[in-house]
Amino acid sequence: MDRNHILEQLEAFELELCTEHLQHLVGLKEEINSVPIYEKYPELFSLDNVKECRKLVETTSGLEKRKNLYLLGSVISSFMSEPLKELSDERDTFEAKAIVAVDGKDVPFRQIGIMISNEPKHSERKRLFELTLDLKKKMEAYDKKMLEEEWKLAKKTGFTDYTSIFSYVKDTDYDKMAGQMRKFLVDTDSLFGGLIAKEMAKIDVPMEDAAGYDISFWIRNPKFDQYFKKEQLVPSLKETLRGLGFDLDKQDNIKVDIEDRPGKVPRAFCMPLRIPEEVHLVIKPSGGQNDYKSMYHECGHSEHYANSNTDLPFEFKHMGSHCVSETYAFTFEHIIMTDEWLSHHTKMDAATRREFLEFDMTVKLFFLRRYATKLLYELKLHRGDLTRVGDDFEPVKDKTGKEAKYKDMSECYSDMLTKACKVKIHQINWASDVDGGYYSADYLRAWMLEVQLQQHMRKTYGKDWMHKTKAGDFLRSLWKDANKPTPLELAKAFGYGSIDMGIMTEEAEGFFGRK
């Protein structure tokens, strides 16, 4: 197919597919059935289209080349997802229908995570987690099979392997980025180790017993629920937006869904079906500050897409670097991590605000370390690299002087994530806790860009920038370009010449007085 035909079919296909997924994720459809949608566009998923788009990338320049690169990334993703459509539908439907027997009652699998995050007893959290292991083992088989098939498909594209595809289409040197992650993990190890030990002590969990399910409860932190009322979630968001010059009630292109349906996924998400005409902002509130973080994060995505220029090419609206929109999502999420927002929107006194901000910065550091390690792990996973790493995340040798090896990727996953998080991370999620297309790297760069943007906003508009329409006008000027900018172009717009993980180390050390 020629370029125009590819783009026309891809636009129609993605709209139908996203609509199908939206209906499933919000709990309006128990089963997901993408197969008929794929079957409507048989010409789209061919190697010839991949080759045609790659040739376009290599024979064009400037913004035209960028559009072609974005298009190539989408075409490759479609080519790799089409053969897996039945398996993917089967896996998602299995998860949606999965039931866990808890004390004689049938509980939807997707509800167990919420139950764990609200359970104050360590022993009960452990029991609930262990009740899911049989189901997770079945899902592990799906995820492993899908990974193996993706690796085979990757080699058919003409690229060397899975990693080389996304390094090319996202213009990212993942190995160079991995070096930054190792340094960050080493530089923040002592600081985070002390912080997480104190946090686990607060919830009566000795470090030797601490596990991933304890982190869920710690992050939930019901202590602050009184300041983050469920009924004030949407009103506070609307008030914050009004301070920036946006009126959510008049933004008819943003569809807000806060209904509590049984089959609705517990995580908040944004689904832009047509940018900027139809953007869905979805959340299933479960209580507390996590609801606020999730809602504000997804609102950052929603406002970015809803304020995009209608006349932009489809490639710049629906394709491009994920970290661009994630930058704005993290910026909105972290608005509530400021003394200025908390003093205006909650009844916290100064001491409580400081306690909350310390807790929240520790949570942020946890996620930064987790995702930095996920990138290192995913590079090993996609390359089949079982070389064991030490506490510095560099290869180690065994007693014979040879490189030590993990027995399999599940052991590798558990060991690396446990080293980073300082609590036991179970190996069961080794194949499911994988971000397709190295989205983990997109998150990491977005966190770096978010700090740069926050610093720019404070310097230009003051610490209370989230209450000023001029700050909103600046954001609107960025959002109109949708996903057209590259991450480096964003950094330059914020007054920086590069994107480096060192800014995250500086933020954490500066906050906790560890310079």
Average pLDDT over residues 475-502: 96
d(CA 288, CA 269) in angstroms, rounded, equals: 17
Per cent of the chain over pLDDT 70 is 99
d(CA 389, CA 186) in angstroms, rounded, equals: 13
Average pLDDT over residues 74-84: 94
DSSP, res 437: G
Strand pairing partners for 397?
403
Average pLDDT over residues 72-85: 94
16-59 pLDDT, tens digit per residue, is: 999 999 999 999 988 888 899 999 999 999 999 999 999 999 99
Burial of 87 (0-12, 13-18, 19+ CB in 10 A): middle
133-169 pLDDT, tens digit per residue, is: 999 999 999 999 999 999 999 999 999 999 999 999 9
Strand ranges of the sheet holding 254-257, from the earlier edge strand across to the other edge:
254-257, 278-282, 269-274
End-to-end CA distance of the chain: 57
Strand pairing partners for 269?
282
Indicate the domain borders of the chain: 3-97+132-169, 195-362+437-511
> Beta 254-257 vs 269-274: how paired, if at all?
unpaired
Burial of 350 (0-12, 13-18, 19+ CB in 10 A): exposed
Report which of 272, 307, 324, 318 is spatially closest to residue 70, judged by C-alpha positions.
318
Residue in the block written with tokens 């993706």:
150
- As assigned by CATH, the class of the 195-362+437-511 domain is mainly alpha
**How is 349-390 classified by DSSP, letter by letter?**
-HHHHHHHHHHHHHHHHHHHHHHHHHHHHHHHHHHT--B-B-
- How would residue 287 be classed by pLDDT, with cut points 50, 70 and 90? low
* CA–CA–CA angle 378, 383, 387 (5° rounding): 85
The pair of structure tokens assigned to 16 is: 């139908």
**How is 454-497 classified by DSSP, letter by letter?**
HHHHHHHH-TTGGG-HHHHHHHHHHHTTTT-S-HHHHHHHTT-S
Q: What phi, psi does 386 have (nearest 5°)?
A: -100, 15
Other C-beta atoms lying within 10 Å of the C-beta of residue 55 = 12
Q: Which long-range CB contacts under 8 A does 176-180 form with residues at least 24 apart?
A: 177/375, 177/441, 177/444, 178/375, 178/376, 178/379, 180/500, 180/501, 180/502
- How would residue 515 be classed by pLDDT, with cut points 50, 70 and 90? very low
Contact 376/440 with Cβ under 8 angstroms?
no
d(CA 217, CA 358) in angstroms, rounded, equals: 17
Average pLDDT over residues 191-195: 97
d(CA 64, CA 57) in angstroms, rounded, equals: 8
d(CA 386, CA 403) in angstroms, rounded, equals: 10
Is it the case that residue 401 has pLDDT exceeding 70?
yes
* CA–CA–CA angle 364, 367, 371 (5° rounding): 140
> Beta 278-282 vs 254-257: how paired, if at all?
parallel
103-121 pLDDT, tens digit per residue, is: 999 999 989 998 999 999 9
DSSP, res 240: H
Average pLDDT over residues 365-384: 98
DSSP, res 31: S
Average pLDDT, the chain: 95
pLDDT value of residue 420: 98
* CA–CA–CA angle 340, 346, 351 (5° rounding): 70
pLDDT value of residue 30: 83
